[in-house]
Amino acid sequence: MSAKFSRVQSESSSANLLPNHMSRRMFMYTAAASVGALALESIPLPAMAARGGGSGGAVTRYPLHVPPTVSPGGFTLTAAPATVNLASTESPSLSSALAYNGFLPGPTFRANKGDSVYVSFANGLADETTVHWHGMLVATAQDGQPQDLVAPGGSRLYQYPIVQRAALNWYHPHPHMMTGEQVCLGLAGAFIVNDTIEAALGLPALQYEVPLIVRDANFDKAGNLIYNPRTTGFDGNTPLVNGTRSPYLDVERAVYRFRVLDGANARLFRLVLSNGMPFTLIGNDGGLLAAPVNVAEIEFSPGERLDLLVDFRGLSGARVMLHDANSGWDLLEFRVANSAQVTGTLPTGALSTITPLPTAALTRYFSFDGMSKINGKEYDLNRIDFTVPYGQTERWVFTTSGNGPHPVHVHGASFQVQSRTGGRGRLFPWESGWKDTVLLQDHETIDVLIRFDQYRGRYLIHCHKLEHEDMGMMANFEVI
């Protein structure tokens, strides 16, 4: 089995500078067959010489890319093959990629609660795609689900009102069995929603608010991004932050707000600062927490977001590394100026009101089985697995028979995490408030409260390890 799978992998990696139906279909078929045939073990990685970000002074660093910020209220978004520069103008590192409007990551949408999204989308890819607005509360027809494919050369309008609180959300493709490939080759972007409650806090803004999309990547010998998936999840040997290799960011002596997304296909990151300073955590997937909390280390999984303040005011001239304690990678170097301190403070009081959901009317159980099933079933585009009454609070319980981590993501509503038993056995500060993705590890049971009170219609629950999702660890349900 592993020989067969390896062969498919190498075919895939030599063939897929651009999407390739054959390599993908072969991967899917073989992966599914493997899952059925064997105890579900991780297939060991080949030895990787490169350590990506490196850890010494010899690494050449490039200025962090920050994608352009655009309004979604009348914007044309195009997904197409592009050549992107993952380093600097002076010292380019060019890669073929799939990009939104030529950018990797795509443009950052920013809008206020109450605004309308009116995005005209054009598919310049060789494959079908969709645009899913991860974390945004939208009607089924606007959710970019696998049923609503945009054909190659085709286009459509995504149109919806922004009805939710301030948060960092994001957009990415969601076509069944092709999400992993399209995201890995570059298709993802941030979507920041602001509101008046957040604005009243006077949090760092403009150049002091920086989105950070953190992911891993693999390259061929020519330096082009490749997608060489494994059943255990795509495993890249090089970190990218905002599509930048070995980035640095010049910062003033100020408080900065970092809007962080784990945009990897499968990798968990454990963020720490090299000087031991804590992050001030103020928000997550669903926006601001009730109150800030200082944390020295944060582990998060694909699809999860973090809203972090970092105080550089007392660090004149210092260099501070954002480090991933899981891989040992240096993700981003902050170079603090010697200039005068900028006014600004860390918030200490209440940030927002999180109203607890009421007692659940019923409990549903979801077992994330193998690498491709929920409750023993693989995803079927045409099957609705259960219905949920509109406006009813429910208790959803996530368990797994193994092969974690499984980042569990739900469309159509945010949830409130109640408990984690087994495994890590506790909840973490970044799991309070509102979430739409929660990390389920082996031996864990996670309990959440959820209520669909925005739209009726068909939505999805799935593993956000994109290879698990593509293999079928996903289910349709309908809010009625």
Interface residues toward Cu ion, by CB under 5 A: 406, 463, 465, 468
| Smallest separation (angstroms) from Cu ion to the CB of 406 | 3
Q: Least distance in Å: CB of 205 to Cu ion?
A: 36
How far apart CA 473 and CA 466 sit, in angstroms, is 9
Biggest alpha carbon distance in the chain? 64
Residue 238: CB atoms within 10 A of its CB come to 19
Handedness of CA 411, 427, 375, 400 (dihedral sign): positive
CB-based burial, 276-299: b 16+ in 10 Å, e otherwise: ebbbbbbbbbbbbbebbeebeebb
Closest distance of CB 360 from Cu ion, Å:
25
CA pair distance 254, 198, nearest whole angstrom:
19
357: β partners = none
Query: What is the torsion angle, in degrees rounded to the nearest 10, for the CA atoms of residue 199, residue 205, residue 206 and residue 209?
Result: -130
Instruction: Please state, in angstroms and rounded to a whole number, the distance separating the CA atoms of residues 281 and 297.
Output: 10
Give the whole-angstrom CA distance, residue 474 versus residue 366. 11
Question: 464 with 318: CB under 8 angstroms?
Answer: no
Contact predicate 72/120, CB 8 Å: no
- Closer residue to Cu ion, CB minimum distance, 134 or 468: 468
Q: Are 356 and 416 in contact (CB under 8 A)?
A: yes
- To the nearest whole angstrom, how small is the minimum distance from the Cβ of residue 304 to Cu ion? 14
Q: Minimum CB separation from Cu ion for residue 464, in Å?
A: 8
Nearer to Cu ion, 247 or 302 (CB): 302
d(CA 428, CA 419): 10
Least distance from C-beta 462 to Cu ion, angstroms? 8
Q: Which is nearer to Cu ion, 101 or 372 (CB)?
A: 372
Closest distance of CB 266 from Cu ion, Å: 8
CB 233, min distance to Cu ion, A: 8
**Residue 293 CA to its chain's centroid (Å):** 22
Q: Which residue, 213 or 463, has its beta carbon nearer to Cu ion?
A: 463
- Residue 446 to residue 456: CA distance in whole angstroms: 25
* Shortest separation between residue 215's beta carbon and Cu ion, angstroms: 17
